[in-house]
Structure 1
Amino acid sequence: MNLNLRNAVISNVAGNSQDELKDTIVDAIQNGEEKMLPGLGVLFEVIWQNASEDEKQEMLNALEDGLKGK
């Protein structure tokens, strides 16, 4: 079976409102299932590709800070 995960994830959330997108993200994180991680990765990829350099730096700072306590 040839499944394009990126296209499937994007297709599933295309046209969703910000509230729906937030619900999807929060649900995936709270659920804690490993199978949700690839979908979150695809969503992060979309965010990263559409972020300015300043926004990317903010994300990297937040990631670094979040990992310090782990």
Structure 2
Amino acid sequence: MNLNLRKAIIQNVSGNSQAELEDTIVDAIQSGEEKMLPGLGVLFEVIWKNADNNEKSAMLETLQNGLKH
């Protein structure tokens, strides 16, 4: 992924409230459009980089459980 794309996505949502961030995520998922996947990836990268080990473990468990269905 191009670093400029990362910066653009982060700039686009920087300063958004939690409700706005949630709307962005929900809209991207509900649209089902492939073009939204890079943005979700960048947002997940931010979450991952800012999570502690317990939060990372919880995310991995949630992911693993979600992939079982």
Q: TM-score, normalised by structure 1?
A: 0.94
d(CA) in 1 for partners of 2:38, 2:67: 19
Structure 1 residue runs of 4 or more that deviate by more than 2 Å after TM superposition: none
Give the structure 2 partner of residue 49 of structure 1.
49
Structure 2 residue identity aligned to 1:49: K
Give the structure 2 partner of residue 67 of structure 1.
67
Structure 1 unmatched runs, 5+: none
Superposed counterparts of 1:1-70, under 5 Å = 4-69=4-69
d(CA) in 2 for partners of 1:63, 1:53: 15
Q: TM-score, normalised by structure 2?
A: 0.95
Cα RMSD after superposing both structures: 1.2
Cα distance change of structure 1 residues 61 and 12 upon mapping to structure 2, 3 Å threshold: same
Q: How many residues get paired?
A: 68
Aligned-residue sequence identity (percent) comes to 74
d(CA) in 2 for partners of 1:61, 1:3: 29
Structure 2 unmatched runs, 5+: none
